[in-house]
Amino acid sequence: MKEDANMADINNSIPATCFPSAAGLASSWDRELLEKVGAALGEECQAENVSILLGPGANIKRSPLCGRNFEYFSEDPYLSSEMAASHIKGVQSQGVGTSLKHFAANNQEYRRMTVDAVVDERTLREIYFASFESAVKKARPWTVMCAYNKLNGEYCSENRYLLTDILKDEWMHEGFVVSDWGAVNDRVNGLDAGLDLEMPQALVLGIKK
């Protein structure tokens, strides 16, 4: 067991407090508690020289088979957005940024890098965008992370409607829009759509040339 852990680099990870999962915290419906947890996380990030905390996740729980449901707050967009906003405020009160994710309609792990979420405007507004909108407007996260999947035929990292029309123009997001790790398929299209930062590095074939 120890050898396996070493191979996975688990024994070399940074010591940190293990707080309850997002699902557990959201069940409290306690905004003040979420803000305190966020502040504690921010303090630990400061201690370890971490500038951006990659969270919280505000995705809506639509499938019980999603392997990361415990990371997300709720199937209810209002509860999810309120908890995310409090979490963001807490973390950023310590001078550490957050990365609200995964924007948008990323609700399953199976084929998450290629699946096309086909969602009509009303459903987007009332469910999938709603879990992010209030958090963006109330808490002003330093960054918002776009998802791997396509939304209505366009990858989220290249979706101008999503990143510019909604996030930057309508919600007045002034921070960075970052990609999920390796999510950029076409860098030029991404920049044109409103993507500001590709993570973790330039992965497109031939970019070093």
Residues serving a catalytic function are: 180
Which residues, 6 or more positions from 116, have their beta carbon under 8 angstroms from its beta carbon? Answer: 149, 150, 151, 152, 153
Rounded to whole angstroms, the Cα distance separating 187 from 140 reads 26
Q: 53: exposed, middle or buried (C-beta count within 10 Å: 0-12, 13-18, 19+)?
A: buried
DSSP of 25-87, one letter per residue?
HHTTT-HHHHHHHHHHHHHHHHHTT--EE---B------TT-TTGGGB--SSHHHHHHHHHHH
Would you call the peptide bond into 200 cis, given omega within 30 degrees of 0 as the criterion? yes
User: Which of 176, 183, 175, 182 has the alpha carbon at shortest distance from 151?
Assistant: 183
Residue 101, helix vs strand vs coil: strand
